[in-house]
Structure 1
Amino acid sequence: MSNSEGKVLNFDHLVFWVANAKTASSYFITRFGFKPMAVRDPTEERQILSYAVKLNKVIIVFESPTTVGGEIAKDLTAHGDFVKDVAFEVQNLEELVRRAKKGGAEVVKDISVLKDKNGSIRYAVLRTYGDNTHTLIDRTKYTGIFLPGYNTLENDAISELLPDTNLLYIDHVEGNMADGTLEESASWYETNLNMHRFWCVDYSHDLVPYSCINSASVINQDETVLLSMNEAAKGLRPTSKASEFVKALGSSGVEHVALYTDDIVSTMQNLKARGADILTWPPTYYDLIREKLKDSPIRVTEGIDALQANNILIDFDERGYMLQAFTKHLQARPTLFIEILQRRNHRGFGAMNYKWVFEAIELLDATADKKIEEKTEKLKLKD
């Protein structure tokens, strides 16, 4: 592909709009192992405090208003703390913006320049689903730590005391869409950002009854930026996680960020040591997995006992497997969590686990019912 083509190259950073940037960034430092990176102090023109934290290739910026009113305060009232912006490093910013305008995308901010002593960056901002945006960044003429206007933060002493979490990069960002907008949202990326559909192994299974969602995914030309989207679908449960999310957030938005590790067992052990709040699963799930793997050619290097001890789920087919674990929601509203994952020749999102966890809960309920019956029978015999 020629350098003249406009395309998304990588995830650059994520922006979270939060009530208190100082404490939210501290939570990611203590619980998830991020390091303080840079701060942008408020000014008369820009009454926003921005804290950037970094872990390997993952950069997250937490922004809070320092005065009454303004867009951030308005959105925080509507949504609570949430992921506002997913920023991409891009090639040929002009061509991408031209394409987006032609495709009918809403341009929140046309091509602009930020400068300091370390050079300049050029950027533009597009609106995507809900109140979310994508900042497109050309940083080829910038040598500073992050972005113009930011000053370096000193390392936090706690980093020396706690174990590394080994979270390497963003595997994917997943959003939940308002009913009936999934196709339109996925197509937006093809039309405006030169991305294409990503067809993964998950989509070859009919898992809607268990997941209660329809899904679509897009990926960039170099297959380094993966975005997944869901909307509610009718299934075995009375409601869908997608519709529950949209109701809680008040619009479509980012439901989770998946961070990649190449050693998920030690990552989960170290997250637990740091006090991260991790979702747990019924023991019947691991009983099911042991049964299913008996007839599989797959050999799980980590061992099922280690997965069970660390609340890790597994999805697999005849070619490979992927391992995933989840934090609980990170804020007051049930609208954002972190996924931790590792892949071994498997490119899905763990969709089979909707079915397997569902089956495990049913097994657990059946076991509990049986115990109640047995207890009742014993009481009858005593009488």
Structure 2
Amino acid sequence: MAVPLHRLHHVSLHVSNGQKLALDLVSKFGFNVFASTLTGESRQVAFRKGAVVFVVNEGPPLGTVGLNEGQHVIHRHATASHRVDINKERKSTSCLYDVRPHHPVDSVANVCFEVEDVERSFKVLRHLGCDFLVPPTSVEDQNGLVTYSVVKSIVGNVCHTLIDKSKYGGVFLPGFKVAEKHWDLEKEDPTCPVTHLDHITYACPRKSTQQVMQWYEKLFGLQRFFIDRNEDVDEGFVVNQEGVGLRLTAMQYRKCSKAGITLPFADKTEPDCKFVIAESLPHQGRNQVDTFLEQHGSAGIQHIGLYTKNIVSTANALAEAGVQFFSPPPAYYTEVGKQQEIEEAGHDPQVLSQHGILLDTDLHQDHSSLRERNKNKRYLLQVFTKPIFAEDTFFLELIERRGAAGFGEGNIRALWRSVQAYMENERRDSHTDGSDKSVQSAQ
């Protein structure tokens, strides 16, 4: 019996320079800082935009205070057999609700889910052979108690915090000092209306997709989500031509109606976040999935899709703030078929081209008249940022859905070429810099 997941609570990033990432999230991406804490080994800061919550983890400078000194917080293991003295716990704990991955590069390493019963989930998952990095543990403050545990996933350095907030009435989590602000009254930014996480994409080694799918299905009951109506059950959605070698397979979890929502949501029925597994195929040359695996050092989270109600406005706002996007070849917007597709969807190709916004129409629609098809056309719009870490690893995607449920399958070739061009330029610049340094050394 798998452990059902209620909803995604937050995503954790582990970085070497939290200040730089914090500045980017706030000044460029429009996130708000709303909670923070210090442990003996880590500074954790929570950022929020809509229902999207990122927790940035960074090791603090030497000499900073320990875990929540001066705050009335009780931190203990939930079961009697695992009780630990709080003073010892303060010294040994590296993060609240997480673990430090000790990964060689910056990484998105934890996806936290709410569950109904952490203790029961621990017993079920341990029986199924799951590895736990943190056993059931409770944290309490004046607003109540939260119990959590941390599970090691089958994907690289990714882990999952399972958390029960049913006995907690605070804004975020015990142990975090919440910024003085009425978050439930926060108004949506009309220029940058990001509302929730649409999907999370894993970059995985070749021939590992089935193993990952089976692990998530067995432990958490995730179900297959077909990206394309005609995709093969075993092979997934495959693009293996014109220099593109990619396999995409998607999963989704069944949402429990009893899920407690404490963070403010504009829409109480917000859709579930889906998981996409990306692996490269042989015989098509080096590509961005292989680059991620090489520079990240293992499989992991390659990108996260942020849902926006207005991608043109959001992309404009982010670009003006300094966010850089991948741009497809200019011919993408002037190709007869694509130009017509964009115009039939009611968009101006020139406007979309300003920031590299791609459009993909759902071709599997009801067989009706041409007029009805154009009227009820289902499509999505998407744009991808350049990597936000020093390495060519993690990036963000903006996605606006107009009825389409896929992930932009028709745009894969255009995106692939734009990312490949970026990586080739990066390698060329790196080689040039290296040559210049060699010349200077010789002189």
What is residue 75 of structure 2 aligned with on the other side? none
What is residue 341 of structure 1 aligned with on the other side? 399
The offset of 1:357, in angstroms, is 5.1
Please, which moves more after superposition, 203-212 or 322-331? Answer: 203-212
Which one has a larger percent helix, Structure 1 or Structure 2? 1
Instruction: Please state whether the residue corresponding to 1:347 is helix, strand or coil.
Output: coil
Write the deviation string for residues 50-94 of structure 1: whole angstroms up to 9, x where unpaired: 111111101111111136899799845x43111010111223334
What is residue 375 of structure 1 aligned with on the other side? none
What is residue 351 of structure 1 aligned with on the other side? 409
What is residue 337 of structure 2 aligned with on the other side? 291
Instruction: Please state whether the residue corresponding to 2:163 is helix, strand or coil.
Output: strand
Contact 1:208 1:234 in 2 (8 A): no
Contact 2:2 2:218 in 1 (8 A): no
Write the deviation string for residues 172-219 of structure 1: whole angstroms up to 9, x where unpaired: 111111233221112111011121111122763641335422222211
Contact 2:2 2:124 in 1 (8 A): no
Q: After superposition, where does 1:77-156 map in structure 2 within 5 Å?
A: 78-128=103-153, 129-153=155-179
What is residue 48 of structure 1 aligned with on the other side? 42
Residue identity opposite 1:29 in structure 2: V
Q: After superposition, where does 1:266-345 map in structure 2 within 5 Å?
A: 266-288=313-335, 290-292=336-338, 294=340, 299-318=344-363, 319=365, 320-345=378-403
Instruction: Please state whether the residue corresponding to 1:168 is helix, strand or coil.
Output: strand
The offset of 1:297, in angstroms, is 11
Give the distance between the partners of 1:37 and 1:28, measured in 2 at CA: 12
Residue identity opposite 1:309 in structure 2: Q
Residue identity opposite 2:18 in structure 1: A
Contact 2:308 2:399 in 1 (8 A): yes
Residue identity opposite 1:122 in structure 2: T
The offset of 1:154, in angstroms, is 5.4
The offset of 1:275, in angstroms, is 1.2
What is residue 226 of structure 2 aligned with on the other side? 199
Contact 1:39 1:51 in 2 (8 A): yes
Q: CA RMSD in A?
A: 3.0
What is residue 206 of structure 2 aligned with on the other side? 179
Change (3 A) 1:283 1:195: same
Give the distance between the partners of 1:142 and 1:74, measured in 2 at CA: 25
Contact 2:4 2:254 in 1 (8 A): yes
Contact 2:191 2:313 in 1 (8 A): no
Residue identity opposite 1:207 in structure 2: V
Q: Aligned pair 1:227/2:275, yes or no?
A: yes
Paired residues in the alignment total 348
Give the distance between the partners of 2:279 and 2:398, measured in 1 at CA: 22
Contact 2:146 2:173 in 1 (8 A): yes
What is residue 25 of structure 1 aligned with on the other side? 22
What is residue 366 of structure 1 aligned with on the other side? none
Residue identity opposite 1:243 in structure 2: D
Write the deviation string for residues 85-109 of structure 1: whole angstroms up to 9, x where unpaired: 0111223334433332232221112
What is residue 188 of structure 1 aligned with on the other side? 215
Please, which moves more after superposition, 64-73 or 179-188? Answer: 64-73
Q: Which runs of 5+ in 1 are unaligned?
A: 363-383
Give the distance between the partners of 1:23 and 1:51, measured in 2 at CA: 12
Give the distance between the partners of 1:29 and 1:50, measured in 2 at CA: 15
Contact 2:361 2:379 in 1 (8 A): yes
Give the distance between the partners of 1:250 and 1:361, measured in 2 at CA: 20
Correspondent of 1:208 among 237, 240, 246: 240
The offset of 1:277, in angstroms, is 1.6
What is residue 441 of structure 2 aligned with on the other side? none
If the length of structure 1 is used for normalisation, what is the TM-score?
Answer: 0.82
Give the distance between the partners of 1:286 and 1:167, measured in 2 at CA: 25
Please, which moves more after superposition, 204-213 or 101-110? Answer: 204-213
Contact 2:238 2:248 in 1 (8 A): no
Contact 1:282 1:361 in 2 (8 A): no
Change (3 A) 1:137 1:71: closer
